[in-house]
Structure 1
Amino acid sequence: MEDDGSVVTGNNDNCCQTVNAKWLCLEDIYQKFHRPNFYDIGCTYIADVPDHRFTYMTSQVGNIFLLQLFVSSPQEGSINVTVSNSNEMTFDKKTGTVYLDKSMKNFRVLRVGEREASTGFVTTYSFSDLDVECLKDKTLYIAITFKNSQSTEINSSTMDFSDLLNDPVGADFTIESLDGEKFSVHKLLLAGQSEVFKAMLKEETAESQNSYVKLVDIGKEDLQCILEFIYSGTVKDLESKNCYNLLMLADRFNLNGLKEITQHALCYQLTHDSALEILVLSDMYNANYLKREALKFIKKYNSILDSSFFDEIKNVDLVRELCRFLAA
């Protein structure tokens, strides 16, 4: 199979122009599957200015190896990325190169933040241990094309396994909510999306051995939202959900995508009565985008500080930060 376009690699001597990018090049992929970590792929460029940076994370769940792909960009709006949508591989014996099948799928990646680059999750590829053995001493190529969208519409696209949540064929784990609702789920999907669930589901844990856990402090509606995000990459009618709880749970389970879209939903809930509470919440759960928006809202409507809630804020550092922001 011939390389018919520019390749994104960590070597920037020959800059890959954004409009020409056709492949992501993952070198030494066998070793990186056996050393789970974050790895850099490289940037695309407009002229000589970095435009999009691609990274990936490797992990292992049982005998399944996961490769999660991420993209970041300094530009505002969402990013439309079209990448290989199959784990099937084609081998080029002459060059020692492996190509993922060129059946493609478009993913719209949420862009959060005003100035600095924000990393967004694109998709996950899964490989068997036999697949990974075949990658020894090989370079893996993933087909890619993309364009920018300046739209501020909020989307967080990922693999859509929502049908498996509604009809849990092959489920191998049960999660029970505070109020007794039981959900049949798949360990592989939970572990692939959340490091917290991944740790919970290690073979030696009681939860993994019993294939069951009860989350005694999470109600069924909030748990349904968490699982909906893990399986589909989004939460339908998010604005009608308890976004206060979801922000806390997204932080607790290290679900960055859920944390991002929940921050945006809470921005629309900023009012004279809620702004200080949302500010405290954003500081507590490291929701930096939401925190900036809350600070700007309070500065615009500074009569909010006459609220009795302001006197109840116990975090001295947060009060100082608020005062500095108002004085700037």
Structure 2
Amino acid sequence: MKTTMFLKKTACTVTVSAALVVMSLPAQANNWRGWNIHPPGYPNTVALEAFAEGVADRTEGRVKPQVYNNAVLGDQPDAIEQTRNGALDFANFNMGPMGPIVNETNVLSLPFIFSSIEHMHDVMDGEIGQRFADALAEKDLIALSWFDSGARSLYNTKRPIQTPADVQGLKVRVMNNDLYVDMIEALGGNATPMAYGEVYQSLRTGVLDGAENNYPSFESSNHYEAAEYYSLTEHLIIPECLCIARASWEALSPEDQEIVREEAIRASQMQRDLWVEGSRKSREIVLEAGVEINEVEDKAAFQELMAPVYAGFVERNPDLEELVDAIRNSN
């Protein structure tokens, strides 16, 4: 009996002591891991790192985000899945490759869906942008703000592109998306889906005549060394998100959620400002290297040829026709 009483007292003492130790320990911080495809110094990278620093500072270390650059945690499709299942906590995703996961985002890859970068900002920062955020949330991605990725234009090794006729016969690299293939073929070109890392050599050897991208990518990839004509078609203006994993978001207190949201919006404004400056510098670099840049005076001629692309898209996605019209009528 005495032995039993002693064991009970000892167990009770140990339990109380353990509880006191736990209570005395500091709360464990949420060490968030963030995915980023870009290198250090890139506008998106600078903004993401500012986001991480701001969140850590304002939550007093309760949330400590760290950004992993250069896609070291996987390519974008893998990173999307990792963020959806909570293996990654946050990421900066382009909406182009998001289509297979969130069908609504394919609308953002329609050529000339936005009339300008400012139009894209207005749409994505408003009620229509919230509709895309809601669609992402259904797939466990919480979009808190929208980044810029500029306007994509055509560049090639043959000639300036001023009218759709100038595209005819050109072998043009596009991202792996049927909408982009349809876009080039509607202009009379030969669309060639290809990995980004293969484009430079393909331009050099003549496997490709051209490709399409924004100023910073055209410059940083050194494609300007092979393609001397850059024509401002500005056919694609695709936004990007700063997305949080649903599991990571819901683990936050309401107060910390507000901090994270505010820092995401601040990061978005920073990224947009840096993007403008980075684009200006890239343009200067390629001009100094001898690239011929031309404005496209009649974009309507290009836009009119996109009618079959839109018709095919709506036929395949009748539920998205209203969303397409909402964006086109919002300008």
* Shared fold (TM-score, shorter chain, > 0.5): no
Normalized per residue, the structure richer in helix is 2
Q: Give the TM-score normalised by structure 2.
A: 0.25
Which is richer in strand? 1
TM-score (structure 1 length as normaliser)? 0.25
Say which one has the larger Rg: 2
